[in-house]
A = this chain, B = another copy of it.
Amino acid sequence: MSIDRRSGCPINLSLEVFGDRWSLIILRDMIFGGRRHFRELLNFSLEGIASNILADRLKRLMELGLLTKADDPSHKQKAIYSLTEMAITLVPIMAQLGAWGRVWLPVSEELSIRAELLEKGGPPLWEQFMDELRHEHLGAPSKTPTGKPTVRQQLRAAYEAVVARKAEEIRPIKTEA
């Protein structure tokens, strides 16, 4: 799982970075799910990543410059993983991947609502999101005005609205007449 340098083509090199089944999933969970710890990534993983694979990929992503690791002051054995600028600029790729998958693949409604919102928002929303990520992970000053809902909040709200609506559809009348 290292970089082969099979060719200097940008698409090939990008594939050598995250052309496997897990690297981009981990980055997705960090970017969209706000995960920062090993256990968060392990236990809340939708796709059920194994701990050895997670450990291997985190290490690899650090070597490649997509993640950094720091001690968590609250626990001597706890590590906090942060996205680098290199990883944050994957947001447009994630958005395009999500948009494509939503059209062509059998996505579930509650999981694709975020892709839809991100697609509708377009580059300006992606920029706002990347700005927020820089604030969270790199300590950069936030350019987003306070009060304005964060992109992650918007994504979360949209997700929960779909979940709530679907629960209502299954059980339309909760209490008896």
State the A residues within 8 Å of B (CB).
5-21, 24-25, 28, 46-48, 65, 86, 89-90, 92-94, 96-108, 111-112, 115
Contact = CB atoms under 8 A, between A and B. Distances in A.
A107 B9 contact: yes
Main SS at interface, chain A: helix
A94 to B, nearest CB: 6
Contacts of A92: 96, 100
A43 to B, nearest CB: 15
Contact of A105 (B6, B13, B19): B13
5 contacts: A9-B28, A10-B98, A13-B107, A14-B97, A65-B104
Contact of A21 (B10, B16, B115): B16
A96 B93 contact: yes
Contacts of A107: 8-10, 13
B105 A17 contact: yes
Residue from A18, A93, A105 with most neighbouring chain B CB atoms (10 Å): A105
B106 A5 contact: yes
